């Protein structure tokens, strides 16, 4: 790595950058945990069964059509499942 010794940042700038990175990393870890709750079979993808399980656990009424729409909305590659990348994209759109 090549560092320019003339570049300086203040302590507060460093703290701000470090805080931003830590916050983003914490949010990413939390999203991974949530994804794992939905990934019933541990295949790296959310399928209808995973959504049904979580909604039932949370006592949220749902229909198969609603679940299909959830998957369709997040499924960017059209494979009928929501992979981790697609799941993360749902939460980072517009940021």
Please write the tens of the pLDDT for every residue from 70-92.
999 999 999 999 999 999 998 87
Which helix (DSSP H) or strand (DSSP E) does residue 80 occupy? none
Strand partners, 82: 46
Give the pLDDT confidence of 17-69 residue by residue, as tens digits.
888 888 888 888 999 999 999 999 999 999 999 999 999 999 999 999 999 99
Query: Do residues 74 and 86 make contact, with C-beta atoms less than 8 angstroms apart?
Result: yes
Tell me the three state secondary structure of residue 67. helix
Question: Which is nearest to 52 in space by CA: 62, 39, 44?
Answer: 62
For the entire predicted model, the pTM comes to 0.73
């Amino acid at each position: 790595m090549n560092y320019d010794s003339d570049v300086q940042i203040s302590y507060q700038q460093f703290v701000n950058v470090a805080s931003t990175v830590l916050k983003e990393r914490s949010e990413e870890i939390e999203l991974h945990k949530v994804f794992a709750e939905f990934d019933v079979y541990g295949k790296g993808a959310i399928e209808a069964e995973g959504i049904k399980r979580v909604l039932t656990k949370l006592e949220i009424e749902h229909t198969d059509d609603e679940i299909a729409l959830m998957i369709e909305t997040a499924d960017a590659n059209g494979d009928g499942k929501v992979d981790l990348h697609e799941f993360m994209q749902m939460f980072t759109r517009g940021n």
